[in-house]
């Protein structure tokens, strides 16, 4: 005698048998109930149940659970919104409290979990230490975007837009660190690729130049793609995704300088590259592309810069755009001070950051990986709001 | 020819040799430099270096790195504050940008990483799916404490005090979930055990009663203790901690009802149990103690309650106090609605939470594990501010 617990997703009658498509939260099952089987309560789509019986196989060779007793634990009724029919993503976004009951979102939450696990496992394997940076902060990560203010009767600060500056403190003691936490942008999201609350992974590496940082970034993302693919076969089937992400993990990702991009794609030097143009570039190379060495004035104060360029890179992905931005950091005390002053930072408040270059400074580089953007690519979600459990304020 | 990169922690001269105690961020090493070895720059405590040479063994059998060439990469001087002498924790708290350079904090950050890894690995192993709950929210987790307000020109909400209520949404689709994220309390911290920003792990389990939840909590914490101990031998040595945490992982943790605690320890029924009294209780049992079934009026609206008691538990640890609070949740729609109304919640705003009981509700339980408290216990830190990288506003 075995037990199966879960929720009913659909009901079908055929020749004296009732078939329930159910989920236990992780996997889907078929309950097969013969006429006369004791049933407590009224089985309806959406109801929760505990079934006693045995795992078996249908005449057609499909797995089934032959029920000897069925208890309905939590009732449902015909008003239950997630009936077994097609719903629009837009409808689902309006009911976060229920959309996890749909196979599509169950699959996405599970893949989200596997992506998280993969990142922690891979970075740990390569000797990175997870370093916890503050969420409430007054650090000014110029260029990252507008920040939310946080207040209480004794505090007046901001929500972090990036853990990088604090992460550099961790790097200066542990050598190789990564942050894994929520970051915030106060611009109201008007695109399908932006959230005001999203998660970033920000590795920071001592004794590491721009090119080595790109090696780390490329290797990390490729390993994550392969790991998620290997662990989530079931979920990709649930999503109806057949093609292998690992295809792009098996090719080299070109690294092209901004100046060369300008020449090839007719962009005026000094201008930023639009999202549409990024997709044109990615398509023309048939692979994710690192765009490197942007004009220095387009990039924030903490980057190492030469006369014209910043030692930086963006990793542009098909469909979802930039999933990583990174750079070599300015490690020279005087040069950094100058760049901070030019950016009009509050030097008193940011003294702790400058001090990381005062004693034992090292050449170092790092990058920020947008967790939700990568997941959007992996799950082929149309909007980034579909890869987070709560896309509206709850 | 090998390379070693890192920072100098102390310098000692003896019989024509110079010995540098150094760290590469993860491990400590000894550089041994013979007279006449080419040195670029001035070696000082705090400076960063790249050394060429070979790993070897001293006549006394200690590992050393025999240097053939030493480059100072980032200089230091005598003003470098983290000199090789005793510093007070209080001093260290005033310089978060530098205290990671001290062995003690390097060790604590590494143990913090291992504790994170252990929690993710163990929960994944037992089929829990990490579920991401919002940081900016309007959810009211009554009883958890004051919240910070978050504002922008288009948003006016709060910082989460707990992911539990949203986590219950995840539970109702995935069965077994956990959150792992920052939570916030706006009360100004005045004790050695409270932070206004701290991390919680909040598992939530479908078809699970109070006692099964305690089983999960006890098993999880014991496994984390054992895993961290196994992975952090080196760091415990750095901290000078000899005794095994696993001692408490090998004994049963008593589960005592609040009513019995009152009788035994002379507490007036209906009153909360003070931190001091909690320590008296823990000492008298010689083990962490689950205190269960508190008076219902002491506990928040979401808990399942009988006439007198809430179906809840606190797990009290030696030294650090409560590291877990948990309960069976009220799964009945009408009873929960009543309890929400009694607690004067905004029923419109919290409708999404009540709805989790409308279709297919299940008995379920969960708990919140205070990440920083547990780490404080493991590292024997005197203040919780010593287990987070940034104890002051940066």
Q: DSSP for A340-393?
A: HHHTT--TTTTHHHHHTTTSS---EEEEEEEHHHHHHHHHT-SSGGGSSS--S-
Give which of B177, B197, B359 to mutate to test A binding, by max A Cβ within 10 Å: B359
Answer yes or no: do A174 and B96 touch at CB < 8 A.
Answer: no
The span from the CA of A191 to the CA of A188, in Å, is 9
The span from the CA of A165 to the CA of A146, in Å, is 16
Nearest chain B alpha carbon to A168: B97
The span from the CA of B191 to the CA of B322, in Å, is 14
Nearest chain B alpha carbon to A356: B97
Give which of B44, B132, B194, B372 to mutate to test A binding, by max A Cβ within 10 Å: B132
Instruction: Enumerate the residues of chain B whose CB falls inside 8 A of the CB of residue A172.
Output: 100-101
Question: B91: Cβ–Cβ under 8 A, 6 or more apart, which residues?
Answer: none
Q: What is the pLDDT of residues B149-182, one digit of tens each?
A: 999 999 999 999 999 999 999 999 999 999 999 9
Question: B156: Cβ–Cβ under 8 A, 6 or more apart, which residues?
Answer: B149, B150
Q: Report pLDDT for B245.
A: 77
Start-to-end C-alpha separation, chain A: 42
Helix (H, G, I), strand (E, B) or coil at A201: strand
Q: Report pLDDT for A330.
A: 98
**Residues A320 and A285 sit within 8 Å (Cβ to Cβ):** no
Per-10-residue mean pLDDT, chain A, length 394: 97 95 97 96 98 95 97 98 93 96 97 98 98 92 80 94 97 98 89 92 98 98 97 96 86 98 98 97 98 97 97 97 98 98 93 97 98 97 96 90
Answer yes or no: do B150 and A159 touch at CB < 8 A.
Answer: yes
Nearest chain B alpha carbon to A132: B389
Could you tell me what percentage of chain A is helix, strand and coil, using 3-state DSSP and rounding each to the nearest 5?
30, 30, 40
Q: Report pLDDT for A188.
A: 82
A138 φ, ψ (degrees, to nearest 5) = -115, 10
Q: What is the pLDDT of residues B28-76, one digit of tens each?
A: 999 999 999 999 999 999 999 999 999 999 999 999 999 999 999 999 9
Query: pTM score > 0.90 for this model?
Result: yes
Nearest chain A alpha carbon to B372: A132
pLDDT higher than 80, residue B189? no
Smallest Cβ distance to A134: which of B113, B331, B394? B394
Q: Report pLDDT for A189.
A: 73
Size of interface A-B (CB pairs under 8 A): 266
Smallest Cβ distance to B113: which of A130, A199, A207? A130
The span from the CA of A15 to the CA of B364, in Å, is 36
The span from the CA of B25 to the CA of B260, in Å, is 50
Measure B270 CA to nearest chain A CA, in Å.
Answer: 31
DSSP string, B219-279: HHHHHHHHHHHHH-HHHHHHHT--S-THHHHTS---EEEHHHHHHHHTPPTTSPPPHHHHH
**Residues A310 and A304 sit within 8 Å (Cβ to Cβ):** yes
B254 falls in which pLDDT band (50, 70, 90)?
very high
B8 φ, ψ (degrees, to nearest 5) = -85, 130
Q: Report pLDDT for B309.
A: 98
Q: What is the pLDDT of residues B97-152, one digit of tens each?
A: 999 999 999 999 999 999 999 999 999 999 999 999 999 998 877 666 789 999 99
Q: What is the pLDDT of residues B353-370, one digit of tens each?
A: 999 999 999 999 999 999
B380 falls in which pLDDT band (50, 70, 90)?
very high
- Note every long-range contact of A100-104, with CB atoms under 8 Å and residues 24 or more positions apart, other chains counting: A100/A389, A100/B169, A100/B170, A100/B172, A100/B173, A100/B174, A101/A7, A101/A9, A101/A46, A101/B172, A101/B173, A101/B360, A103/A9, A103/A23, A103/A28, A103/A238, A104/A238, A104/A239
pLDDT higher than 80, residue B264? yes
Question: A250: Cβ–Cβ under 8 A, 6 or more apart, which residues?
Answer: none
Answer yes or no: do B360 and A98 touch at CB < 8 A.
Answer: no
Question: CA neighbours within 13 Å on the CB side: how many for A390?
Answer: 23
Give the residue-averaged pLDDT of B249-269. 97
Answer yes or no: do B132 and A97 touch at CB < 8 A.
Answer: no
**Residues B227 and B206 sit within 8 Å (Cβ to Cβ):** no
Q: Report pLDDT for B188.
A: 82
Give the residue-averaged pLDDT of B312-333. 98
Q: Report pLDDT for B342.
A: 95
Neighbours of B12 (CB within 10 A): 11
Nearest chain A alpha carbon to B9: A360
Smallest Cβ distance to A25: which of B6, B74, B174? B174
**Residues A160 and A180 sit within 8 Å (Cβ to Cβ):** no
pLDDT higher than 80, residue B298? yes
Smallest Cβ distance to B73: which of A130, A131, A362? A362
Instruction: Enumerate the residues of chain B whose CB falls inside 8 A of the CB of residue A10.
Output: none
ipTM above 0.95, yes or no: yes
């Amino acid at each position: 005698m075995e037990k199966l617990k879960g929720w009913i997703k659909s009901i079908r009658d055929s020749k004296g048998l009732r078939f329930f498509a159910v989920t236990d939260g992780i996997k889907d099952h078929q309950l097969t109930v013969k006429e006369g089987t004791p049933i407590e309560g009224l089985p309806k789509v959406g109801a929760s149940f505990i079934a006693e019986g045995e795992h078996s196989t249908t005449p057609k060779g499909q797995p089934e659970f032959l029920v000897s007793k069925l208890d309905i634990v939590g009732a449902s009724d015909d008003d239950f919104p997630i009936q077994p029919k097609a719903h629009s993503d837009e409808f689902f976004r309006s009911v976060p409290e229920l959309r996890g009951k749909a196979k599509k979102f169950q699959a996405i939450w599970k893949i989200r979990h596997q992506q998280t696990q993969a990142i922690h496992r891979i970075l740990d394997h390569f000797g990175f230490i997870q370093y916890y940076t503050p969420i409430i902060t007054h650090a000014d990560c110029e260029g990252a975007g507008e920040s939310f203010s946080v207040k209480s009767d004794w505090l007046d600060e901001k929500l972090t837009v990036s853990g990088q500056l604090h992460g550099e403190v961790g790097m200066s003691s542990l050598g190789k660190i990564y942050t894994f936490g929520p970051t915030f942008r106060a611009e109201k999201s008007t695109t399908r690729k932006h959230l005001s609350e999203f998660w970033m992974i920000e590795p920071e590496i001592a004794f590491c130049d721009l090119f080595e940082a790109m090696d780390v970034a490329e290797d990390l993302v490729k390993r994550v793609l392969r790991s998620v693919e290997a662990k989530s076969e079931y979920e990709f089937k649930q999503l109806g995704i057949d093609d292998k992400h690992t295809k792009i993990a098996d090719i080299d990702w070109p690294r092209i300088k901004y100046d060369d991009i300008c020449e090839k794609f007719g962009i005026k030097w000094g201008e930023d590259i639009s999202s549409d143009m990024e997709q044109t570039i990615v398509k023309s190379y048939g692979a994710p592309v690192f765009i490197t060495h942007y004009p220095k004035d387009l990039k924030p104060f903490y980057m190492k810069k030469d006369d014209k360029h910043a030692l930086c890179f963006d990793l542009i992905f098909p469909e979802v755009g930039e999933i990583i931005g990174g750079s070599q950091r300015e490690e020279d005390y005087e040069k950094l001070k100058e760049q901070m002053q030019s950016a009009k930072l509050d030097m008193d408040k940011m003294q702790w950051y400058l001090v990381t270059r005062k004693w034992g400074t090292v050449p170092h580089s790092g990058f920020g990986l947008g967790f939700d953007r990568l997941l959007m690519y992996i799950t082929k979600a149309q909007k980034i709001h579909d890869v987070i459990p709560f896309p509206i304020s709850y």
